[in-house]
Every structure is written in structure tokens, then in C-alpha cells.
Amino acid sequence: MTTDHVPNPLLAIADTFRYDAIEATHVVPAVTTVLAEATAAIERLQTDPSANTWSSFVEPFEAATEQVSHIWSAVSHLSAVSDTPPLRAAYNICLPKITEFWTALSQNEALFDRYRAIEASADFASLTQVRQRVIVNALRDFRLGGAELPPVEKARLAAIEDELAMLSQSFSEHVLDATNAFVLDLADAAALDGLPDDALAAAKSRAETAGVSGYRVTLHMPSYLAVMQFAKDRSLRETVYAAYSKRASEFGSPDQDNGPLITRILALRAKAATLLEYDDYASLSMVPKMADSPADVLRFLEELRVRARPFGMRDRDELQGFAQQHLGLDHLEAWDITFASERLREHRYAFSQQEVKEYFPETKVLQGLFRVVSRLFAVEALQRVGDDAPSLWHPDVKFFDLVDASGNLVAQFYLDLYARVGKRSGAWMASARSRALRADGSCRTPIAYLTCNFSEPLRDASGQVVREALFTHSEVNTLFHEFGHGLHHMLTRVDESAVTGIRGVEWDAVELPSQFLENFCWEWDVVEHMTAQIDTGAPIPRALFDRMLAAKNFQAGLQTLRQLEFAIFDMQLHSRFDPRDGRSVLDLLNEVRKSVAVFEVPSYNRQPNQFSHIFAGGYAAGYYSYKWAEVLSADAYAQFEEDGVLNPTTGARFLEEILGVGGSRPAIESFVSFRGREPGLEALLRHNGMVDTA
């Protein structure tokens, strides 16, 4: 397929795409082509009576769909990191086609019957454990997709899935558009009194880039957080907080209001659960997860709430007392909390986030991260530059090879670190390509997208970098977190694509490697080697690190309660909420806050309208997984604390038992194989400082 007689780069056969050559006009022709090819291949398979074994049916079936996943992954990624009106239009033309393709496959009785026949055959027992799990998972997914429903109900479920896909995309677009829409231009630096020099320089650079004088504040996280942490002007903080918390709601542009979308999404999810004979969407969501039921999850969250709330209340009381005594704030409003917290941290531990940030330049941080990965897992990250690098979607993006001790290629990854207009907020890892065996017996190595939204380097008026990016320690944690996901994807040793890397891993266990890797950001032997003061090059002083470590669990009670608020709200929303009772989504959230939160939020706060995790990001009835998996990750890391945090033998075991096996066996089996026992809650509570020492 070509566009204007130019070969379509999305259809080129190569290890990596030519991202600089991909245009919006390439998307629809490429997706149309691969869908037609996959559909034809599957039709041949399901009518071939001899296609009834692993090699004659499962392998060619997965191969037929792989190119669809490969191309759509690239299109979805570009949509998330380089959004433009033409690309968005092309994406939204293709999204229903992609959704319909996968929905039709999941409801295809002929394919379902082939998988059932393989499971029932005498040959099933001779398959490897990995291949048996692929078959069992496929059968589960056919049932969840509606393969056993009557034709009329299949059509209803398919229509629901199509609409849900479009609604989720619209939800995400509305948040992005509302974030991009807000700018606040200030004439002079006095209005931003309190901001660190680098944040002030970034605000000036944003204004210069936009062709305006003065300083520009936006709702992108580096700008927003700098104002909330450091701006002394309380009214400025209130203005920026209000704009941020009202995004994608009835307070803004009507065509960006996510309120009606939330109502419709919840109704459709409930209908899907009913069609599949589940009590609610949360119960449906539990089927492929570790947790057995919504009730089990809510009991787990309640246990954590009971343990955490006294610590959260103590944090609140300390912050209020400090604000009254030192900041002249008799009553803390929502826009004061981050500012007051930063002042209390500085007062109590004698350091500021800005002071710490000057020790974490990007180059040194990456070297430190790669050192940890090398020590534990015996692989090296080598950046490809110049003509040796593949084409990229933005000049700031980097590309790396991951090689073993013999120099053999293990995996590759793209690293896109900085926030910018047109890029979805947050941080994430996504698969550009999964590991698999090729027909000739060679290994197709995995490729990962690693995406963050950190502050960019300081640039001059011409756009040249005059100082490399500096990261907060929180951003360093985020980088390690996403790289943990990346390692799960890239270091897999499983060759069956359906369960390689993070594929097939229970959703509430997928955060284990990511949260596990964060722990190394708090080890002196790691931090010492990934710090260099931006002016002197000196590593961070041990005394400063010790103060950071003392502050590690600063306000851990408040932070835990915030996560629990989101998790409980999400689970109740998808299991116990019924709008026919006269309650709104906000009513439910406010009820949850009464038992969880210790600070009030303004009535205009519309957090659900921006909750992309559960309305656009795959975490519906699954936000609890961050805490669920943190139990596993904290307990797994305790093994490294016992053996030595950079112990290569323990790292090799973690690679073999957890990272390497991907989704080829239940996550609890992988954990027990590594730890030698079932997980416990104690390590999590200890790591969060929520253990009474009196």
C-alpha cells in the first residue's frame, strides 16, 4: 500500500519503524491493509480441517494477528506522544476497525472450538507448561469476549466494546486538550516569587517559545508542580490548582466535558457484565486477576486503611500546626498542602527538593540506573546515536540496545523523557514489539517504549541545550518504576508471544517489577553513583542523602491514604455503585473521602473527570493493583535487603523466577518460587514507615 506513490513506512519490513517518515495519511491505509491480511489468514485457518494442533493452528493464528498488534502499537504510541489533529482523526477512524477486529475474534465460535479441541486432545498433555497456559488463557478470553453468547447478545456485546473504545479515547483526548488549553502569562518574575531558578528559567523559555514576553505557567506537570510546591503567592497557587482540578469538566469547554462520558462508560460496563452473567463489572474484571473477588479487594484495602489512617491523621496535624506557626496559614486549603509540605520538609530535614535536584542530572541518573541493571541482571544499555540510531518521532528521544555479557542483543528501548505540548501526561511503558521465535528459529528481540513527562533541559532562545535536564528524586523514582516495567518486557525468556514479557501477567501483579526497582533509589551504593552536582560534578554528600533517607517516609500516611481513596472509589464504583439510587459519581467519591481522606477538597474539584487510569487506561476495577502488587514488591525486595541490595546471585534468581517467566505461570507461583513462601504485609508497612516503634 502506498500513499501518493511513496512506500508506506508503517508497512515496511524492518526491525524498527521510520518514525520521522510516518504521517497521518499513512495510518488508515496501513491499518486497512494489515486487517485485511489478518482476516484472510484467519479465515483460511478456521476452514482448514487439518489446522487442529499447536503447530498447525495456534502458531499461524498468532502470527496472523501479530502484524496488527505491531502496527497499531506504533500508531497508538504516536497518538500518545505526538498528538496532532490529522493524526487524531486518522487514529479515530481506525479505532473502531481495530476494536471490531479483536471483538470478532474473541466471539468467533470456530476459533473457540479449535482451542477447546486442542485442550481436550491427547496431545495437550505433551505440550509444555507455557503452551498449555496459552491455551487455557485463550479459552478464558474467548468466554470473556462472549464466544458462548447467542448471536443477538454477541452483537450487543460487540457494540458495547466498540463504543467503550471510542469513549475511552475521547476521555483521554479531553484531558489532554484541557491541559493544553490553559496558559497563564505573567509579566515579571515577582509573580513567581519562590520558584527555583531552573523552574523560573523554564517558565521564561515557555513564554519565549510561544512568542510572548514574561513567564508562562501551564498545567503540564513540571510547570504545575513547581507552582504548587514553591510559589509564595497563595492566590496564584489557588488559580493554578483550580484550573488543574477543573480540567475536562462542566467548568470548561462543553466539548471537553468528561462528565457525560463517565456516566455512559459506567452504564456500558455494567451492561457488558450482565451479558456475561456477572453481578457487576468489578466481578468480571477479577477473572484474569490474582484477587478472587471485589469483596476480597475491599477487605484488603480496608485493612490498609485502618493501618494507614492514624499515620495520615498524624501527618495532617503536624502539617496544620507547622503552617499555623511558621507560614501564617490558620486553615490549610487544597492549594496550600503541597506548598506547606515542602516547607515542612525543608524545616524538619534541612534540605529542599531543589537542592537535591541539582545532584541528579540526566546523564548521571541514566548511568546509575544502567549500573543497577548491569549488576543485577548482567546486561548493558548502549545508546545508539547518529546514523547508527533508528529514526525517531522527536529530537529529544533516545534509543538504546540492551546487550548481554557476550555482546548479544537482548532487547531495545526508546526513551522519551520530557513533557511537551501534544504529549499525554503521566509516565508509562508500552510494547513496541514482543519477544518471539521466528519461523527460521531465530529470536525476535523485544522493543519497549519508555515514556515520562519530566522537565526538559534548559535551552537558549535558538533552542540549543545550555544545561542538561535535572530530575527531582521523585522523577528518578518514576524513571526506575517505568524501567522496571521495561525489564519485565525486555528480559523475558519466554518465546510464546501470548505470555511473553508482561503479556498474560495478572493485572494486579504487573506492578511488581516496577515498584520493586524503585527501592534501589534509596540505597547509598546506588545514589552515590548516579549523582553529580550540576556545577561542581561532586556526588551528593552522604549527610544530605541521610537527611533524604530520614525524610523517605515523610507524609507516607497521607500518600497511602490518597492511593487508597482512589482504589476504594474505583472498586466501589464498579461493584456497588448504582446511579438509580440517586447518587452521582461525585457523591460516591465524597462518601469514600469521609472514611479515608483527612483533608477536604473544594466542591469544584472534578478528579473523576481526569481519572484516566480507570476511564481510559486499563485500570478499571484495578487501581488497587498498585497496593496489591506493592505487597509483593516490598516483600521481594526484602530478599535483597537480606542478601545485599546489589547481589548478582539474588538478581539472577529474580530474573529467572519473576522477570524471565513473564505470564507463563500464575504470578503467585513466581513469587513463591523466588521468595520461598507466600507474601506478607509486614515489608510493605515497614517500607512505608507505618510501623509503630514505641
Q: Which residues are catalytic?
A: 482
Q: 456 is written with which cell numbers?
A: 526538559
Q: Which amino acid is at 65?
A: T
Summarize the chain as % helix, strand, coil (round to 5): 60, 10, 30
CA distance 539 to 326: 32
Q: Which residue has cell 469476549?
A: 145
Three-state DSSP class for residue 569: helix
State how far the Cα of 221 lies from the Cα of 228, in Å rounded to an integer.
10
Closest CA to 477 of 360, 312, 311: 360
d(CA 317, CA 330): 12
Nine-digit cell string for 505? 501477567
**Using the 8-state DSSP alphabet, how is residue 289 labeled?**
S
The CA distance from 165 to 229, in Å, is 36
615: left (phi over 0), alpha (psi -120 to 50) or beta: alpha
Q: Whose grid coordinates read 463517565?
A: 262
Q: How far is the C-alpha of 107 from the C-alpha of 150, rounded, in Å?
A: 10
Please give the DSSP secondary-structure letter assigned to residue 55.
I
Q: Indicate the residue type of 666.
A: P
Give the three-state DSSP class for 410. Answer: strand
Cβ contacts of residue 571 below 8 Å, gap of 6+? Answer: 282, 294, 297, 298, 301, 621, 623, 624
Q: From residue 121, how far is each of 52, 111, 133, 140 by CA, in Å?
A: 10, 15, 15, 18
Cα–Cα distance for residue pair 582/600, rounded to 1 Å = 23
Whole-number Å distance between alpha carbons of 379 and 519:
19
CA-to-CA dists, residue 665 to 605, 668, 670, 675, angstroms: 42, 8, 7, 16
CA–CA dist 199, 31 (Å, integer): 42
Q: Which three cell numbers stand for residue 452?
A: 515520562
Structure-block grid coordinates of residue 279: 453481578
Q: Going by C-beta distance under 8 Å and a sequence separation of 6 or more, which residues neighbour residue 514?
A: 429, 481, 482, 484, 485, 488, 633
**CB proximity list for 560: less than 8 A, separation 6 or greater:** 304, 308, 311, 312, 688, 690
Contact 449, 414 (CB under 8 A): yes
Q: 2: helix, coil or strand?
A: strand
Distant-in-sequence, close-in-space partners of 125: CB < 8 Å, separation ≥ 6: none
d(CA 610, CA 586): 13
The dihedrals phi and psi of 442, each to the nearest 5 degrees, come to: -80, 160
- Residue carrying the nine cell digits 486497512: 32
